[in-house]
Structure formats: C-alpha cells, structure tokens
Amino acid sequence: MTQYALLRFFDPQSGVRVGVQIGATVHDVTDAVGSVAAWLRGSSGRVDAAIADLLAAAKASRQTYLADMLHHAPSPDHLHWLPPIDVQDVWAAGVTYERSRIARQEEARDGGDVYARVYTAERPELFFKARGPWVVGPYDQVGIRRDAAWNVPEPELALVINPALEIVGVTIGNDMSSRDIEGENPLYLPQAKIYTRSCALGPTIALGHIRDVWPATRIALHIYRNGAPIFSGETHTDKIRRRPDELLEYLGRALAFPDGAVLLTGTGIVPPDSFTLAAGDLVEVQIDAVGVLQNFVTMV
C-alpha cells in the first residue's frame, strides 16, 4: 500500500469534488480526473501508471484543503467527506472468517449447517450490498431496521476494483446487518443486508495495486452510547480464509463492472448475542493502513 489516497468531498462553493490526500493535505484533482468512475475506467491494465497520474495531478493542483476541514456531517453549508465511490456497485463476501462462521451458526434457528458448508466450500458466498448512490460516507448516519430487534455493524476491509477486476486500493466498509432477520431464515439475507443506509464506506481509498496477498493490517471496531464505550473488538486480515484474487475471480466470472466495483471482504468482529445497536450510537471502524470511519446510527 502507499501513503496516497483517492477521495470525494463536497465544497459549498463548487459542489462535489475529487481529491487526492497526501499526508494531511487534500489536493483537488477534479479538473484532471473528472470522477472516480472515469479514473477507474482509465486504470484498467495500468494501475501503477494511473496512480502516478493521480499524484502528478495532485502536485499540479492549486486548490488544496486540510483534511481536518472535512470532518463534518453532510451539510450544504460545510465542507464534508463524501463516500469515496460514485456509481460503483458494492458487493460483499460472507463467512470468510472463522468467527463469522461461528456467529452465523449460532444465530440460525436451524443450526446453520449452510454456513459451515460455505466456509469450506470451493465457491465463496457473494451477495449484492448496495448501489453506489446508496452508500453513506464518514460522519453520515447508518441505519438500523425498525422491524428488527438485533442490529449490528460489520467492520470490513473493502477492495476497490476497476473494470479489469484489478485492485486499485482499499477502503473501510461497514456492512450493517439485522442478525435476527437472517437468523430466522437464510433466504431473508437480502432483507437483513440491503436497506436504506445499510452500507458505509470511507473516508478514502488507500491506493495500491494488490494482487493475491492481503495487506497485513488490524481492523478494530468501537461502539459508543451517550459518549461511553459499550463494545470494542479487533481482528486481523491474516484471519481471512480466502485470497483476494480468489474472491474477485468468482465475482467477475459472469458479471461485468464497466465503472468498477467495491467488494466487502467479510467480518471477523462480532459483538455478543446480547448486544444490539440503538439510534444515536456512534460506530467507529479503524483499519490501520487506511484510517477511521465514523457514523452515528439512526432508525430506518
């Protein structure tokens, strides 16, 4: 991985912008890049060169911001982060960590044999999570379903890919889930996983051409209620059972992504069965190689 990151942000004076973060400074590269989708398309077959082009555009930019200036909830009156993608679909891999397999089996009313089998199966579990415009970014609100009683965040490393299925970088993902809905029947997974504000990404895409080896990094989850910590947990990417190239080969085997895509790679952090999120909670996901993603919780 590199120390450079691609991002999107909102400027009240000029609207949606594309930036490159170098250190603590965000360089506006909108005029050179156009959009994240355009850059992803142009990176196919030339990821390292496309990253070099981004850095050149950043160094040539005359419009810069301190990254700290973006730390606001979305508002038309303030600079703020946007999700780091625009039109890309978000997909997710399930049961890629041993901890996730155990949790899925425990929540399932029928004993969860389907989860044990998919953990060791040749074909991974892959499912659609969100369209790009549905995704929320840093300091925005993530949702919990009002018809569910057991709602949890799922902190995940997210792979960002171009149309050639090449990994251009990683970001932080929060795959919000209703465990009681999926636990009642695995066929309810789309309802447990796909709903308003159920996917958060950000703050940036840490750029780097990854192939068959996971970036070695720690993933941590912290949840606060009324300012006090109520849950903390962590895992490491070396606990992911499947390789990144393996997951992407299955994802793109019979499906094209002309504007690129994002793949959430599963969670290895599961709060205890007695825990459920409440409106107003603060969810913080930290990935050492990427940054921190913070979102408050709202009922949807």
Residue 23: both structure tokens together: 């250190």
**What pLDDT score was predicted for residue 1?**
43
Over the range 120-153, which residues count as b (16 or more CB within 10 Å of their CB) and which as e? eeeebbbeebbebebbbbbbbbbbbbeebebbbb
Q: Say if residue 41's pLDDT is above 60.
A: yes
pTM, 2 dp:
0.94
Question: pLDDT, tens digit, for every residue of 8-21?
Answer: 999 999 999 999 99
Residue 201, both tokens: 């990404």
Side-chain-side CA neighbours of residue 171 (13 Å): 30
- Bridge partner list, 34: none
Domains of the chain: 4-81 (no CATH), 89-299 (3.90.850.10)
27: pLDDT confidence band, cut at 50, 70 and 90? very high
| 31: Cα within 13 Å, side-chain hemisphere | 10
| Model confidence band, residue 289 (pLDDT cutoffs 50, 70, 90) | confident
pLDDT of 55 higher than 80: yes
Answer yes or no: is pLDDT of 106 > 70. no
Contact 100, 164 (CB under 8 A): no
What phi and psi, each to the nearest 5 degrees, are found at residue 49? -65, -40
Report the pLDDT value the prediction gives residue 124, as an integer from 0 to 100.
92
Rounded to the nearest 10°, the torsion over CA 89, 94, 96, 102 is 160
pLDDT number for residue 294: 99
- The 10s digit of each residue's pLDDT in 226-273 is 999 999 999 999 999 899 999 999 999 999 999 999 999 999 999 999
- Rounded to a whole number of angstroms, the distance between the first and last alpha carbons of the chain is 36
For the chain, percent of residues with pLDDT exceeding 70: 94
Amino acid at 7: L
Percent of the chain whose pLDDT exceeds 90: 84
64-78 pLDDT per residue, tens: 999 999 999 999 999
